[in-house]
């Protein structure tokens, strides 16, 4: 119930006065509908089916008709009826468009807010969260919320229609109308359990589609492993069983819904029979009143059933809204410590001395050991610092702290002696260029990929950055040069080429510090040499931090930091460290030399 009221509140806040106009239009449509039913009385008496309409309630409405010559009355009544229908049709059209505008606008607003919250969340949030869960909320769950909003709009239309029609029916016969209302209320109370059950099914739909989404994403990103290890059969089995569960759940919901619709149908037949008998035998209503009431309720009852059906479907969709708002809340709680500002308005830090870690310790989870332990490190401006160590030694963690993506539990990271927090953190992030191990490029042209970081960059600046990153030659050879589309459905680039384009993008930004997480597995020795050449060119122009997996790329580093089990175990110049005959660096070097010679 909380989720429904939260949803209604958000819808109300979003739509504002448009919601009231929408409701007013619905009222008008329903009133015109009721009037059109009332017009049937003079119409039917004119064709001789009823006596006079004098004894009908609201007969004064039709009094002016008495003054019209008899030969004209039929045309006037038919004309009134047509005008009523046309006006109603026009209002209905306006109301339908308005309803869709509110529905689409609301969902769009929700989508934008959710995505903004996700982007504003800090890095630790992303470490905790499965990416597939985020895309699931942004696609599938939001689509369900959109469907739910449509149902809510339909529901409110039906509800207002029902109230107005009941008011019209009341004027015709209070007892008969009360009888139907009591019946309707009893039926609604009885149907509450169906709505509850529908909500449980909705919860299950959320859970299942989340599992489906994450499974699919994992499988598709690991398709090479699946194919090369012949794991297709087991994955297909998973897929088939998942689809089966989704199918079963969807059928269960329809079964529940059609079951209640069937009950409604049976009850409506019983009602109509009771109605006719009671109106004639017990309440002794005039036939014209009975016919009008039956007409009103015959049209109303399916709507009543529709309300029940909408409630069940809305019940099933509420978990989707809950999932969206829960994600928003989670993101808001993990919001970055600095305020969001428009791109281009964030300043950069001009570093004059260097970047430091002072007694820095960090752990990912409270109940886990430290990933980094008491790190003390100074990275001087304009120099190249290499970070090496075995897998799991803490290299990426250290880089994430230096970039300000995470804050240490103990100690501090400082730039020129100032701790990285709040706004300084934001300007610091804006001063960093980062090239990851898995270089990320959009499916668009090389030009667009580069302009992402500096939309105003000129052609020669783009080529200059490409030249620094040692990719000018191969880009010039591409069919459409800078305008060649790359990515999944464009020209396929090798791992090394991708990394160099990303490096060019980072250089274009002219960062204060350039961090390079070396992609070694995808690099052959020719590409490695090219990256090394790029690093050579950049040396002295900016502060460089390189996570090195191949020690050969960091021969010219000004300082090498060796990590082991979250601690700095060695530190110094490459030549000096390689001359040591003991220690982690020596072991790493020996292992790599052995591998190269093998
Ligand atoms: N998101 C995380 N949640 C929990 N523990 C983590 C997380 N990321 C890393 N760790 C742990 O922190 C330690 C350091 O990991 P880190 O990724 O920094 O090592 P690394 O030297 O970069 O390794 P590699 O060279 O394999 O990338 C490891 O013990 C790892 O298991």
Decide whether any atom of ligand 1 lies within 6 Å of the 362 Cβ. Answer: no
Burial (CB count <10 Å: 0-12, 13-18, 19+), residue 172: buried
Q: What is the pLDDT of residues 515-561, one digit of tens each?
A: 988 755 556 667 677 777 778 878 888 899 999 877 777 888 899 99
Looking at the structure, tell me whether residues 196 and 300 fall in a common domain: yes
- Whether residues 227 and 361 share a domain: the answer is no
Q: Which of 123, 131, 371, 551 to mutate to test the pocket of ligand 1 (most atoms within 8 A of CB)?
A: 371
Instruction: Determine if ligand 1 sits within 6 Å of the CB of residue 565.
Output: no
DSSP-derived secondary structure for 229-270: TT-HHHHHHHHHHHHHHHHHHHHHHHHHHHHHHHHHHHHHHH
Q: What share of the chain is helix, strand, coil (3-state, %, to 5)?
A: 65, 10, 25
- In a shared domain, residues 363 and 408: yes
Domain boundary among 333, 363, 379: 333
Q: Is 370 in the pocket of ligand 1 (CB under 6 A)?
A: no
Cα of 531 from ligand 1 centre, angstroms? 25
Nearest CA to ligand 1 atom 16: 394
pLDDT over 80 at 44, yes or no: no
Q: Is residue 478 part of a domain?
A: yes
Task: State in Å: Cα 372 to ligand 1 middle.
Answer: 10
In the numeric block, which tokens belong to residue 73?
């009355």
Ramachandran class of 576: left when φ > 0, alpha when ψ lies in -120 to 50, beta otherwise = alpha
Number of H helices, E strands in the chain: 21, 10
Task: Determine contact, residues 310/188, Cβ cutoff 8 Å.
Answer: no
Three-class DSSP category at 445: strand
**354-362 β-sheet, strand order:** 372-380, 354-362, 410-415, 418-419
What ligand 1 atom has the least distance to the C-alpha of 437?
27
Q: pLDDT at position 595, please?
A: 64
pLDDT digits (tens, 9 = 90+) for 129-178: 888 889 889 988 898 888 888 888 888 888 888 888 888 778 777 877 88
Atom of ligand 1 nearest to the CA of 389: 21
Given a cut of 80, is residue 306 above it in pLDDT? no
Q: Is the minimum distance from the CB of 391 to ligand 1 under 6 angstroms?
A: yes
If you measure from the C-alpha of residue 392 to the centroid of ligand 1, how many angstroms do you get, rounded to a whole number?
Answer: 5
Same domain, 317 and 415: no
SS3 sequence of 336-368: CCCCCCCCCCCCCCCCCCEEEEEEEEECCCCCC
Task: State whether 372 and 323 are in the same domain.
Answer: no
How many A from CA of 226 to the centre of ligand 1?
25
CA of 128 to the centre of ligand 1 (A): 13
583 within domain boundaries = no
In a mutational test of the pocket of ligand 1, which residue from 363, 367, 393 has the highest number of ligand atoms less than 8 Å from its CB? Answer: 393
Confidence of residue 490 (pLDDT cuts 50, 70, 90): low
At residue 409, the pLDDT reads: 92
* Residue of 376, 371, 342, 335 whose CA lies nearest to 359: 376
Q: What's the sign of the alpha-carbon dihedral 270, 272, 273, 277?
A: positive
Domains in the chain, number: 2
Closest-CA residue, ligand 1 atom 18, reads: 394
Nearest to 137 by CA among 207, 221, 51, 48: 207
Establish if 345 belongs to a structural domain. Answer: no
The ipTM value here is 0.97
pLDDT for residue 231: 75
Percentage of residues in the chain having pLDDT higher than 90: 17
Angle of helix 459-468 versus helix 525-538 axis, rounded to 10: 120
Residue 315 has pLDDT above 90, yes or no: no
| Shortest-distance Cα residue to atom 3 of ligand 1 | 364
Please give the Cα distance from 222 to 224 (Å, whole number). Answer: 5
Tell whether ligand 1 has an atom less than 6 A from the beta carbon of residue 395. yes
Q: Is residue 595 part of a domain?
A: no
**How far apart are alpha carbons 593 and 598 in whole angstroms?**
9
Q: Is 593 part of a structural domain of the chain?
A: no
- List CB contacts of 533: < 8 A, sequence separation 6 or more: 470
Query: Rounded mean pLDDT of the chain?
Result: 82
- What is the C-alpha to C-alpha distance for residues 303 and 310, in angstroms, rounded to an integer? 10
The yes-or-no verdict on residue 567 having pLDDT over 90 is yes
Cβ 531 under 6 angstroms from ligand 1 = no
412 membership: H or E segment, kind and range: strand 410-415
Task: Say how many Å lie between the CA of residue 359 and the centre of ligand 1.
Answer: 19
User: Both 66 and 184 in a single domain?
Assistant: yes
**562 C-alpha to center of ligand 1: Å?**
15
- pLDDT, residue 523, reads 60
Give me the pLDDT at residue 67, please: 73
CB contact at 8 A, 543 and 354: yes
Residue located nearest, by CA, to atom 31 of ligand 1? 392
- DSSP assignment string, 171-186: HH-HHHHHHHHHHHHH
Question: Which pLDDT value is given to residue 57?
Answer: 58
Ligand 1 within 6 A of CB of 436: no
Q: Is residue 342 part of a domain?
A: no
Residues 384 and 442 in one domain: yes
d(CA 387, CA 383): 13
Among 357, 254, 263, smallest CA distance to 301 is for 263
Contact, 424 vs 415, CB < 8 A? yes
- For residue 248, the domain's CATH number is 1.20.1560.10
Please tell me the residue having the least CA distance from ligand 1 atom 4.
364
CB 394 near ligand 1, within 6 Å = yes
Is residue 75 domain-shared with residue 183, that is, in the same domain? yes
pLDDT for the residue 360: 94
User: DSSP characters for 509-562?
Assistant: T--SEEEEE---TT--HHHHHHHHHHHHHHBTTBEEEEE-SSGGGGTT-SEEEE
Which tens digit of pLDDT belongs to each residue from 69-109? 767 777 777 888 888 889 988 998 998 899 889 988 998 99
**What is the three-class DSSP state of 39?**
coil
The reply to whether 301 and 179 lie within a common domain is yes
Domain that holds residue 555: 354-573
Residue from 122, 365, 396 to probe ligand 1 pocket by mutation (most atoms less than 8 Å from CB): 396
pLDDT band at 55 (very low <50, low <70, confident <90, very high): low
Task: Look at residue 337 and tell me whether its pLDDT is greater than 90.
Answer: no
Q: What is the pLDDT of residues 375-403, one digit of tens each?
A: 999 999 999 999 999 888 999 999 999 99
Residues 281 and 393 in one domain: no
Residue 295 within any structural domain of the chain: yes
Question: What pLDDT sits at residue 411?
Answer: 93
Separation between Cα atoms, residue 157 and residue 184, nearest integer Å: 18
* Among the ranges given (36-40, 178-182, 453-457, 472-476), the one the predictor scored with the smallest mean pLDDT: 36-40
Tell me: do 18 and 149 sit in the same domain.
Answer: yes
| Enclosing H/E stretch for 203 | helix 174-221
Task: Note the pTM of the prediction, 2 decimals.
Answer: 0.74
Range 39-62 average pLDDT: 61
How far is 486 from 502, CA to CA, in rounded Å? Answer: 12
**Same domain? 371 vs 305:** no
Does residue 218 lie within any of the structural domains?
yes
The CATH number covering residue 457 comes to 3.40.50.300
| Smallest CA separation from ligand 1 atom 30, residue | 392
- Give the containing element (helix H, strand E) for 594: helix 584-597
Rg of the chain's alpha carbons, rounded to an integer? Answer: 36
Question: In which band, very low, low, confident or very high, does the pLDDT at 488 lie, cut at 50, 70 and 90?
Answer: low
């Amino acid at each position: 119930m909380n989720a429904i009221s939260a949803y209604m509140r958000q819808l109300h806040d979003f739509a504002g006065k448009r919601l009231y106009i929408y409701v007013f239009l619905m009222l008008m449509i329903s009133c015109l509908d009721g009037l059109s039913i009332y017009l049937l009385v003079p119409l039917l008496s004119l064709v001789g089916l009823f006596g006079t309409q004098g004894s009908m309630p609201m007969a004064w409405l039709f009094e002016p008709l008495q003054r019209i010559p008899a030969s004209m009355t039929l045309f006037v009544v038919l004309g009134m009826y047509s005008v009523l229908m046309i006006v109603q049709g026009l209002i209905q059209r306006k109301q339908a468009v308005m309803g869709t505008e509110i529905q689409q606008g609301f969902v769009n607003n929700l989508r934008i807010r959710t995505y903004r919250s996700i982007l504003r969340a800090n890095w630790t949030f992303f470490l905790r969260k499965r990416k597939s869960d985020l895309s699931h909320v942004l696609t599938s769950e939001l689509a369900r919320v959109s469907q739910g909003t449509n149902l809510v709009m339909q529901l409110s239309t039906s509800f207002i229609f029902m109230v107005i029609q009941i008011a019209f029916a009341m004027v015709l016969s209070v007892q008969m109308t009360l009888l139907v209302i009591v019946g309707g209320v009893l039926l609604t109370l009885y149907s509450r359990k169906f709505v509850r059950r529908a909500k449980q099914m909705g919860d299950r739909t959320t859970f299942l589609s989340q599992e489906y989404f994450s499974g699919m994403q994992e499988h598709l990103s690991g398709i090479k492993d699946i194919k090369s290890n012949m794991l297709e059969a087991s994955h297909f089995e998973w897929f088939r069983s998942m689809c089966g569960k989704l199918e079963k759940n969807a059928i269960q919901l329809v079964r529940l819904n059609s079951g209640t619709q069937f009950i409604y149908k049976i009850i409506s037949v019983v009602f109509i029979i009771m109605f006719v008998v009671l109106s004639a035998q017990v309440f002794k209503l005039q036939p014209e009143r009975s016919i009008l009431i039956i007409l009103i309720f015959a049209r109303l009852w399916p709507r009543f059933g529709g309300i029940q059906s909408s409630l069940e479907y809305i019940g099933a969709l509420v978990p989707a809204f809950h999932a969206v708002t829960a994600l928003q809340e989670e993101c808001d709680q993990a919001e970055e410590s600095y305020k969001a500002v428009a791109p281009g308005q964030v300043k950069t830090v001009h570093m004059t001395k260097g970047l430091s870690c002072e007694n820095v310790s960090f752990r990912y989870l409270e109940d886990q050991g430290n990933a980094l332990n008491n790190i003390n490190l100074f990275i001087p401006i304009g120099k190249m610092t290499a970070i090496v160590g075995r897998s799991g030694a803490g290299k990426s963690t250290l880089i994430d702290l230096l970039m300000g993506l995470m804050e240490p539990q103990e100690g501090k990271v400082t730039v020129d002696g100032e701790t990285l927090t709040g706004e300084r953190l934001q300007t610091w992030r804006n001063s960093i260029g980062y090239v990851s191990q898995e270089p990320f490029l959009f499916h668009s042209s090389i030009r667009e990929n580069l302009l992402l970081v500096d939309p105003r960059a000129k052609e020669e600046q783009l080529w200059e950055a490409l030249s620094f990153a040692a990719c000018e030659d191969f880009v010039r050879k591409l069919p459409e040069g800078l305008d060649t589309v790359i990515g999944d459905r464009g020209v396929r680039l090798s791992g090394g080429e991708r990394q160099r384009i990303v490096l060019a993008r980072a250089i274009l930004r002219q960062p204060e510090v350039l961090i390079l997480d070396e992609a070694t597995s995808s690099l052959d020795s020719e590409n490695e040499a090219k990256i090394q050449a790029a690093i050579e060119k950049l040396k002295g122009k900016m502060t460089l931090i390189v996570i090195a997996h191949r020690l050969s790329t960091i021969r010219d580093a000004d300082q090498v930091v060796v990590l082991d089990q979250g601690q700095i175990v060695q530190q110094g110049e490459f030549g000096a460290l390689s001359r040591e005959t003991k220690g982690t660096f020596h072991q790493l070097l020996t292992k790599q030399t052995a591998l190269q010679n093998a």
